[in-house]
Amino acid sequence: DQQVKQNSPSLSVQEGRISILNCDYTNSMFDYFLWYKKYPAEGPTFLISISSIKDKNEDGRFTVFLNKSAKHLSLHIVPSQPGDSAVYFCAASASTSGTYKYIFGTGTRLKVLA
Amino acid sequence: DAGITQSPRHKVTETGTPVTLRCHQTENHRYMYWYRQDPGHGLRLIHYSYGVKDTDKGEVSDGYSVSRSKTEDFLLTLESATSSQTSVYFCAISERKGQFPYEQYFGPGTRLTVT
């Protein structure tokens, strides 16, 4: 039973346009969410986070939206750049569990076309 | 960049041999994690530690053990390696931030091939 799902394995976007990466979760106890970017042969790099007390968080070109009722979050990248081409993972955690564990999605490969 | 190193970075071993992977951090973070990354599965938690000598199992812990005798080191051991343990292994660290867990920071990974 996959608690965090990224249903789109890949996405292609033109340079300068918006990239939207989606993530769904099933566990209503999840209250903290992260997005990571991963280049080949490197470890994942933290991008942006959001807690359940917010519905939006921005950091430069990256914005994460959280819809708690739909158990859905999305990462928007505007404008998309060729250097954004990577695999993106979402991750979720339940702070009340006290374990500080994250469950990761399977990732979405983003390709930004020049 | 968070100070996390993994050793070795690449290893080829034979089925049935023991293997130990090392994660070393210089950030003095309390929490440390071992993940494996496989195509179609994303990152899956093997074991994690919430303090020296305090460890617990993740979602794919069978065939793996861990030890943490110092804050800075977290060891992952494959007692008898199998071909299904061929994977890329990542170590991560994190710290608590108020109510919510802090972000995890990842090491560069170890590519393990079991032949």
Question: Can you point out the beta strands (E) in A3-114?
Answer: 4-5, 10-14, 19-25, 32-38, 45-51, 56-59, 62-67, 72-77, 86-93, 103-104, 108-113
State CA B67 to chain mean position distance: 10
**Contact, A18 vs A81, CB < 8 A?**
no
- Look at B104 and A32 and tell me if their CB atoms are within 8 Å: no
- Residue B108 contacts A where some CB pair is shorter than 8 Å: yes
**Average pLDDT value for chain A:** 94
Q: Residue B45: its chain A contacts at CB < 8 A? A: 101-103
- 10-residue block means of pLDDT along chain B (115 residues)? 89 97 95 93 93 92 96 97 97 81 89 97
Report the gap between the CA of A16 and the closest CA in chain B (Å): 28
Report the gap between the CA of A24 and the closest CA in chain B (Å): 14
Question: Can you point out the beta strands (E) in chain B?
Answer: 4-7, 10-13, 19-25, 31-38, 42-51, 54-57, 64-70, 73-78, 87-94, 96-97, 100-101, 105-106, 110-114
Q: Please tell me the predicted confidence (pLDDT) of residue A95.
A: 79
Q: What is the dihedral of CA A108, A62, A114, B39, to 10 degrees?
A: -20
pLDDT band at A100 (very low <50, low <70, confident <90, very high): confident
Residue partners of A16: CB distance under 8 A and separation at least 6 = A79, A80
pLDDT digits (tens, 9 = 90+) for A44-98: 999 999 999 999 999 999 999 999 999 999 999 999 999 999 999 999 998 777 7
Report the gap between the CA of A81 and the closest CA in chain B (Å): 22
Q: Which residue of A has its CA nearest to B37?
A: A106
Q: Which of A26, A21, A25, A27 is nearest to A9 (CA)?
A: A21
Gap between the Cα atoms of A57 and A65, Å rounded? 7
Q: Please tell me the predicted confidence (pLDDT) of residue B1.
A: 57
Taking the CA atoms of chain A, what radius of gyration do you get in angstroms? 14
- Complete DSSP assignment for B42-55: EEEEEEEEEETTEE
* 3-class SS of residue A97: helix
Task: Tell whether omega for the bond before A79 is within 30 degrees of 0, i.e. cis.
Answer: yes
